């Protein structure tokens, strides 16, 4: 058992708010839960004990951190510093959009949010349960039916030295609604946080989603984005992850209504001694769903990437189309990639496929660039960038893609060239 978890359970007992019934249920599960070991399949490759071992100084200095805005994005920014919402929610919002603080929710928001809370995110995730019982801060975003919100909604979590934070995001899109949500995590100092988000995407609604898990250094971060798609709902999600001492992200999609479409792209770029663990489960519970999942990673130096991608086609989910592709470049003989694409299929009239490759950088392409005068190190950066850029190009928001590219380039430039 973990001291940290015992402490978390004890802290949770004093949490009391409008989510109490939901939190109690999760707390009961948490009390029964086992701390993961290497034998726990969901944590097989990641030494979770670092979470337990890492001590935070309790007299952490208050820091007035701010989140930089993204130029040209014109987003509605919701900023959490060390788990505290610092943005003013009183600004006028576009018609059809309501954003309230979890800590300060109106009765209206409480009713839909209580229903959504812990209903999309599966209860099997230990740290999801931790977030259920400890996340007293968060936002509730409600997009009314037929509302088309052009401005992206950006939720930024900034973590500073020795902070511990648990934040929760609940999002509801009504019928035919359209919105774009960016979850961004930053900080490179020793800290612990869990950040989970649950999305209910209504009938024929369209959600554009980004999760930028850009914490690095000594930060420990565990979180997830979980989606439930109603009939003909569309999800286009991009995850970008840098590694740190511990990073674990779960992206789960449930096709709850027929003819829904999910496009999931994910990128991870690791260097130094970083870890990044991405788990993704796609539940096709009903017929006629489509999922396209593309995951690419570059793993350099002493780092380690883990990918577990599961597609589960339920008994009745006939006519499902689901494809998952995971491609990795291994840059060093001290780095490691562990990938496990899984198919679990209980319906016969479906088209499912997955593929996974691990290789090094394409030597022929490297030579081709060199033969045109480009240095080996620059050629390597170009090829790495190209490998990832195919997915960056697919991001529907060009401003975000432009914002991301120089950061990716900096990462590649820092990667040790062998």
20-32 vs 126-134: helix axis angle to the nearest 10? 140
Report which of 122, 84, 114, 89 is spatially closest to residue 17, judged by C-alpha positions.
Answer: 114
Contacts of residue 104, defined as CB under 8 A and 6 or more positions apart, other chains included, come to none
**Contact status: 412 vs other proteins (CB under 8 A):** no
Please give the structure tokens belonging to residue 295. 């995951």
CB of 378 to other proteins, least distance (A): 6
The one segment of 53-61, 157-165, 175-183, 341-349 that binds other proteins by CB under 8 A:
341-349
Distance from C-alpha of 320 to C-alpha of 258, rounded to nearest angstrom: 9
CB of 319 to other proteins, least distance (A): 11
Q: Which residues on adjacent β-strands are paired with residue 74?
A: none
CB of 75 to other proteins, least distance (A): 27
**Contact status: 417 vs other proteins (CB under 8 A):** no
Q: Of residues 222, 262, 275, 330, which one binds other proteins by CB under 8 A?
A: 330
CB of 317 to other proteins, least distance (A): 10
**Contact status: 406 vs other proteins (CB under 8 A):** no
Q: Nearer Cβ to other proteins, position 163 or 380?
A: 380
The one segment of 157-165, 181-189, 193-201, 339-347 that binds other proteins by CB under 8 A:
339-347
Q: Which stretch of DSSP H or E encloses residue 53?
A: helix 49-53
CB of 334 to other proteins, least distance (A): 8
Report which of 151, 34, 14, 157 is spatially closest to residue 84, judged by C-alpha positions.
Answer: 157
**Contact status: 386 vs other proteins (CB under 8 A):** yes
8 A C-beta contact, residue 154 and residue 76: yes
**Contact status: 321 vs other proteins (CB under 8 A):** no
- Which residue bears the tokens 């009939």? 231
Q: Nearer Cβ to other proteins, position 168 or 314?
A: 314
- Contact flags string 76-115 toward other proteins, x per CB under 8 A: ----------------------------------------
CB of 42 to other proteins, least distance (A): 12
CB of 190 to other proteins, least distance (A): 28
Tell me phi and psi for residue 2, to 5 degrees. -105, 135
Q: Of residues 319, 340, 405, 409, which one binds other proteins by CB under 8 A?
A: 340
The CA-atom distances, in angstroms, between 95 and each of 139, 177, 342, 386 are 18, 12, 42, 40
CB of 408 to other proteins, least distance (A): 11
The one segment of 103-111, 170-178, 245-253, 362-370 that binds other proteins by CB under 8 A:
362-370
Distance from C-alpha of 315 to C-alpha of 286, rounded to nearest angstrom: 8
Q: Where are the beta strands (DSSP E) in 103-230?
A: 137-143, 153-158, 163-173, 178-186, 191-201, 206-213, 219-229
Cα torsion 386, 389, 394, 396: sign: negative
**Contact status: 353 vs other proteins (CB under 8 A):** yes
**Contact status: 387 vs other proteins (CB under 8 A):** yes
Q: Nearer Cβ to other proteins, position 244 or 389?
A: 389
Residues in the chain: 418
Distance from C-alpha of 150 to C-alpha of 13, rounded to nearest angstrom: 41
8 A C-beta contact, residue 237 and residue 210: yes
**Contact status: 318 vs other proteins (CB under 8 A):** yes
**Contact status: 382 vs other proteins (CB under 8 A):** yes
**Contact status: 415 vs other proteins (CB under 8 A):** no
8 A C-beta contact, residue 254 and residue 283: yes
Write out the residues near other proteins by the rule CB under 8 A: 41, 315, 318, 328, 330-360, 362-365, 367-376, 378-379, 382-383, 385-390, 393, 418
């Amino acid at each position: 058992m973990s001291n940290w978890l015992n402490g978390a359970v004890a802290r949770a007992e004093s949490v009391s708010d409008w989510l109490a019934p939901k939190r109690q249920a999760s707390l009961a599960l948490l009390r029964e839960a086992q701390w993961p070991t290497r034998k726990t399949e969901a944590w097989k490759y990641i030494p979770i004990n670092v979470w337990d071992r890492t001590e935070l100084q309790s007299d952490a200095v208050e820091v007035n951190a701010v989140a930089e805005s993204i130029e040209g994005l014109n987003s509605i920014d919701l900023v959490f510093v060390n788990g505290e919402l610092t943005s003013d929610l009183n600004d006028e919002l576009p018609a059809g959009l309501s954003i309230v603080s979890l800590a300060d929710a109106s009765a209206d928001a409480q009713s839909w949010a209580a229903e959504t809370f812990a209903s999309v995110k599966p209860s099997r995730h230990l740290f999801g349960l931790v977030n259920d019982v400890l996340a007293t801060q968060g936002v509730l975003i409600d997009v009314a039916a037929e509302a088309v919100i052009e401005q992206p909604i950006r939720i930024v979590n900034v973590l500073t030295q020795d902070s511990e934070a648990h934040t929760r995001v609940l999002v509801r899109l009504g019928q035919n609604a359209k919105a774009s949500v960016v979850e961004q995590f930053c900080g490179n100092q020793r800290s612990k946080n869990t950040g989970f988000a649950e999305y209910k995407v209504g009938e024929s609604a369209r959600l554009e989603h980004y999760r930028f898990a850009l914490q690095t250094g000594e930060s420990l971060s565990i979180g997830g984005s979980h989606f439930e798609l109603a009939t003909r709902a569309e999800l286009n999600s991009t995850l970008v992850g840098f590694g740190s001492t511990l990073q674990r992200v779960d992206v789960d999609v449930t096709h709850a209504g027929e003819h829904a479409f999910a496009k999931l792209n994910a990128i991870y770029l690791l260097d130094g001694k970083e870890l990044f663990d991405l788990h993704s489960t796609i539940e096709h519970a009903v017929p006629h769903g489509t999922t396209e999942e593309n995951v690419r990673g570059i793993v350099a130096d002493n780092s380690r990437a883990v990918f577990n991608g599961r597609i589960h086609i339920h008994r009745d989910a006939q006519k499902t189309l689901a494809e998952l592709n995971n491609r990795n470049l291994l840059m060093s003989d001290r780095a490691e990639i562990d990938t496990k694409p899984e198919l679990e299929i209980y319906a016969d009239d479906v088209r499912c496929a997955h593929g996974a490759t691990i290789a090094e950088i394409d030597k022929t392409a490297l030579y081709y660039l060199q033969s045109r005068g480009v240095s080996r190190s620059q050629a390597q950066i170009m090829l790495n960038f190209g490998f990832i850029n195919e997915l960056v190009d697919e991001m529907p928001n060009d401003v975000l893609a432009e914002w991301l590219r120089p950061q990716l380039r900096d990462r590649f430039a820092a990667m040790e060239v062998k």
